[in-house]
Homo-oligomer: A and B are copies of this chain.
Amino acid sequence: MKTLPGFRDFYPEDCARRNYILSTWREVARRHGFVEYDGPVLESIELYQKKSGGELVGQLFNFSDKGDRQVTLRPEMTPTLARMVAARARDFRKPLKWFCVPQFFRYEKPQRGRGREFYQFNADLIGEASDAADAELIALVIDVLKEFGFTAKDFVVRLSSRTAWQKFFAAAGGEAAREDDFFQIVDKIERMPPEKTGEALGALGVPELTADRVLAFLRGGEPGELAPVLENLQARGMGDYVEIDYAIVRGLAYYTGVVFEVFDRSKNERALAGGGRYDRLLALMSDGKVDLPALGFGMGDIVLENLIDDVPAARERRDAWMAQQRACDVYLVVAKAELRLDAVALAQSLRDAGLRVDFPLVDTKVGKQFQAAEQLGAEVAVVVGDEWPQVKVKTLATREEVTVANRGLADWWRTRQKGV
């Protein structure tokens, strides 16, 4: 019996590493005024067909349920978000600043950095067309990665604008109807031999649109309309984290304005996050019922975790968090069997006071009990023995020992924690 290919078991250590990522996402999102929402793990397949025109359907975990509904495990959040916002758009003050940390499912070939399930931090800002919203969203991406312990040496946000490309295309004489085809070419231009690019551009029927001109624009890197976004991020002290890069256009058809991708700065250039504006998607998804400008991004957990493993400062920060989450504040060493029920009562009173407490369930040699205390990462071992109703309290890291009344133990702990 094994896990399915591309799926993960989370043993306690793995689960703590996962929870570190999820809780860091949540904490930074809240600092930025984003509130959490979630949707169902299972959705009607139509929801995705509507948005993508079927792009993703080949990668879905889809099936027919026992009521003959065509359903699928969710591969992404935007359609769910659009459905939810469309249903209750009037109930919320604009702009909406919403985030979630869902698990997604895609039937792809598992490989390093990619499983068939993964968690993804999603944040969306809905109802504000100003570029101040773009800056506010990008600041969140940057701040989340900073919180993990990464610096401008570790990652970069590559910023681009579909609007800039649209203007370029229109100025060259391109028809709006062929825009998407043009974006597909730009998206692949750096991975394609120049003659192939030339051919593909030729098929658009716009004589002025040569590969050289497209590449010149791509490499020009003028801020243009991205200047206010850059200025805003600079005001936040985040200028070092951003670069203009017109090679970024994002593959999906629904992006409309600013788009961006975040890469790690090592030679691996792994993509950590991506997003942008999708001002027309809500109207499309709601058949025109709700028409709000919007933008958002996604950041997966798998590449992120690999990068944390690779960057010492990030690894140390995670290790410190995980040590804090240790299973145990106090381990009770039951040194006299006849005091067992007293020890149980003491354990409960400490738990009632909010402490993390463990103790041996059955009679065990005292040496083994101290071993258990160490292995569980307990901060202190409390010996319930000859001194009862007093107890000996041993700080495991320093070997310091004090004797206190068992009823005063919770107070002693609180005073000590304040002093630390």
Contacts and interface: CB of A to CB of B under 8 A. Distances in A.
A271 interface: no
Contacts of A325: 30
Contact of A1 (B1, B40, B47, B357): B47
A210 interface: no
A356 B33 contact: yes
B356 A31 contact: yes
Nearest to A59: B66
A130 B361 contact: yes
Interface size class of A (residues with CB under 8 A): 35 or more
A12 interface: yes
A124 to B, nearest CB: 12
A267 to B, nearest CB: 30
Interface string A24-64: 00000011111111111111101100100000000001011
Contacts of A95: 361
A32 B356 CA distance: 6
Contacts of A352: 143
Contact of A327 (B3, B30, B361, B375): B30
Given A31-B351, A65-B107, A361 B236 contact: no
Interface in A59-87: 61, 63-67, 69, 71, 73, 80, 83-84, 86
A253 interface: no
Contacts of A80: 9
The complex is assembled from copies of this chain, and their number is: 2
Contact of A11 (B15, B30, B67, B84): B84
Interface stretch (A190-198, A340-348, A381-389, A408-416): A340-348
A337 to B, nearest CB: 12
A264 interface: no
Contact of A341 (B47, B61, B235, B358): B235
- Nearest first, the 9 A-B pairs at minimum CB distance are A63-B63, A33-B358, A7-B40, A236-B348, A10-B38, A132-B361, A235-B341, A12-B35, A31-B351
17 contacts: A1-B50, A1-B285, A3-B43, A4-B40, A31-B357, A33-B327, A33-B357, A42-B117, A93-B372, A128-B361, A132-B362, A232-B341, A235-B341, A235-B345, A236-B345, A236-B348, A237-B348
Interface of A: 1-5, 7-12, 15-16, 18-19, 30-44, 46-47, 50, 61, 63-67, 69, 71, 73, 80, 83-84, 86, 88, 93, 95, 97-98, 100, 103, 105, 107, 117, 128, 130, 132-133, 135-136, 139, 143, 231-232, 235-238, 285, 325, 327-328, 341-342, 344-345, 347-348, 351-352, 354-358, 361-362, 372, 375-376
